A and B are shown apart, each in its own frame.
Chain A
Amino acid sequence: MPTIEVRNIRNYVFSNLNMKVLDKELLVVLGPNGAGKTTLLNIIAGLVDYEGTILFDGIPVDKAPTNDRQIGYLFQNLALFPHLDVASNVGYSLKVRGKKKEEIAQEVDELLKLTKIEHLKRRYPKNLSGGEKQRVALARALATSPKVLLLDEPFNSLDSGMCNCLRREIRQIQREMGTTTVFVTHNLTDAEEMGDRIVVLNEGKIQQVTSKMFKDATDNDNRSQRFQDCLHCAIDCYCKRKEGDYESADSPACRM
């Protein structure tokens, strides 16, 4: 699986964005609405125009169209095909690549089993719950055997119980497959529980990078609280600036 390098990216959101996603890691991009999280994923996927370079394992992919980038993309609104049943949704990428029916059926069955939705095979998206749709979208994204997995706020519309369950499952699947993954969210719990590293993004700029090493180095009892305090502070300062409260935003805590 590739290392992703984002080099000198400029477009309507970013002025000069540089970052790196390591091989097999799950990088969380955390930030408030409008920070540019989805745009970043769309740039990596080649779905929007940009200047600069995206490299997969050191090779520029800027000229490769989206359908050649070997990515799996879980959209925020899931974007399931409403006219196809679950099996056809999951097998779509295999079908457009010209695989044989038997192979498609076998691979689809495996993916449905992996995401625990074998029983939904013949249902249409309109007859699925939020969590079920999420699993179908994940299975569909994984069907491409992606080198890079892009997850755009996948737990937005789910209750907390379902979120916990899916977080664990996605993390487990990602580890098993070793897919380099970029996960964007505005939810601190998602970020903390899922990420190997966390990048805080505000107004198209990287404000902070927190690594697993930082988290492991802190005291176990205080780790979660300190980590959350740190992230809350970053977002709080950003909001104050947006509201025009420059005095608070320039306080020593915010500057730190």
Chain B
Amino acid sequence: MEDMKIKSVLVGILPVIAFVIIWESIAQLNLVPKYIFPSFSAVMIEFYHLAVSGVLLDNLLSSLFRVLAGFLLGSAAGIVVGIGMGSKESVNKSFHPIFSLLYPIPVLGWAPLLMVWIGINELLPVALIFLCSFFPVLYNTITGIKGVDREVIKAARTLGASDGKILTTVVLPLAIPNIFTGLRLEAGMAWRVVIAAEMVAIPTGIGALMIRSESLLRMDVIIVCLMVLSVMCLAFERFFQFVERRITTGWR
């Protein structure tokens, strides 16, 4: 059993190690100037400098705040509206056409409009992440609620549950896997959006650090930022996966 675990970890880690070795070797060959293609070791040294100086943490915290604010607000709104649309056909019929028109618009397509309406300030990335989180969570919540077996709802009704009780004790718990699918996917997407917004409009955050580094030809700093971004996306997705498993363990 222990051997199997070690093997499965090795299977996952070996390609990463191979990738790093190949990267380091190519960089050491000096075929391309080091400022264009820095080695893995140079990137790690820069990571250390950025971490110790606090530059990385400051920018990361700025981005994190925006992601959390936009994501929490957008997800909460998506879940609330999704519950309304999923459980009441009249609400669904009213809102479905307008949301169907707005959903296909790429989130960054809103950026020029919001720059004028909101201004270039902290609210801009929060608003963009709100939009990015709202629609997918909304549609996943609706799908989850509509997917609940009608017989189970009938059973709850025959057992004396009111509509409100059925929603809180049967429908929402059974819709959780779908709601969490939306949350998990959008947690990663929120990071991508914040980086884009910071690159074009906001002077702080990981995206802003990347765009400044680009003008100074600091590829090592850009790669450090990309690594941090990758880890944050993964951490957010895994967090929701973990919470979902904790909630649904046993019955799924």
- Using a CB–CB cutoff of 8 Å, the interface residues on chain A facing chain B are 45, 47, 65-69, 71-73, 75, 77, 79-85, 92-93, 95-97, 124-126, 140-141, 143-144
Contact between B157 and A66, CB atoms less than 8 A apart: yes
Contact between A96 and B250, CB atoms less than 8 A apart: no
Contact between A140 and B151, CB atoms less than 8 A apart: no
Interface string of B12-28 (1 = CB under 8 A from A): 00000000000000000
Contact between A81 and B157, CB atoms less than 8 A apart: no
- A60 vs B222: C-alpha distance in the bound complex, in angstroms? 75
Chain A residues near B230 (CB-CB < 8 A): none
- A65 vs B154: C-alpha distance in the bound complex, in angstroms? 12
6 closest A-B pairs by CB: A93-B159, A79-B155, A79-B151, A73-B158, A96-B161, A66-B157
Q: Residue B189 at the A interface, CB < 8 A?
A: no
Chain A residues near B252 (CB-CB < 8 A): 126
Q: Residue B185 at the A interface, CB < 8 A?
A: no
Chain A residues near B174 (CB-CB < 8 A): 82-83
Chain B residues near A141 (CB-CB < 8 A): 158
Chain B residues near A67 (CB-CB < 8 A): 157-162
Interface string of B151-181 (1 = CB under 8 A from A): 1101111111110010001100110000000
Contact between A79 and B251, CB atoms less than 8 A apart: no
Closest residue of B by beta carbon distance from A150? B158
- A168 vs B163: C-alpha distance in the bound complex, in angstroms? 36
- A178 vs B252: C-alpha distance in the bound complex, in angstroms? 38
Contact between B154 and A79, CB atoms less than 8 A apart: yes
Contact between A97 and B155, CB atoms less than 8 A apart: no
- Looking at B158, B248, B252, the one whose CB has the most chain A CB atoms below 10 A away is B158
Q: Classify the interface of chain B: helix, strand, loop or mixed.
A: helix
Contact between A47 and B158, CB atoms less than 8 A apart: yes
Chain A residues near B169 (CB-CB < 8 A): 92, 95-96
Which one, A47, A79, A124, A143, contacts B152 given CB within 8 A?
A: A79
Chain B residues near A79 (CB-CB < 8 A): 149, 151-152, 154-155
Chain B residues near A126 (CB-CB < 8 A): 251-252
Q: Using A96-B160, A124-B250 as known contacts, say yes or no to A81 and B154 having CB atoms under 8 A apart.
A: no
Contact between B250 and A85, CB atoms less than 8 A apart: yes
Closest residue of B by beta carbon distance from A42? B154
- A75 vs B161: C-alpha distance in the bound complex, in angstroms? 16
Question: 11 other contacts beyond A47-B158, A66-B157, A69-B158, with CB at 8 A cut-off?
Answer: A47-B154, A66-B158, A73-B158, A75-B155, A79-B151, A82-B251, A83-B251, A92-B156, A93-B159, A96-B162, A140-B159
How near does chain A come to B160, taking the closest CB pair, in angstroms? 5
Chain A residues near B157 (CB-CB < 8 A): 47, 65-67
Which one, A45, A77, A124, contacts B158 given CB within 8 A?
A: A45
- A166 vs B159: C-alpha distance in the bound complex, in angstroms? 22
Which one, B152, B158, B248, contacts A81 given CB within 8 A?
A: B152
Contact between A96 and B251, CB atoms less than 8 A apart: no
Chain B residues near A96 (CB-CB < 8 A): 156, 159-162, 165, 169
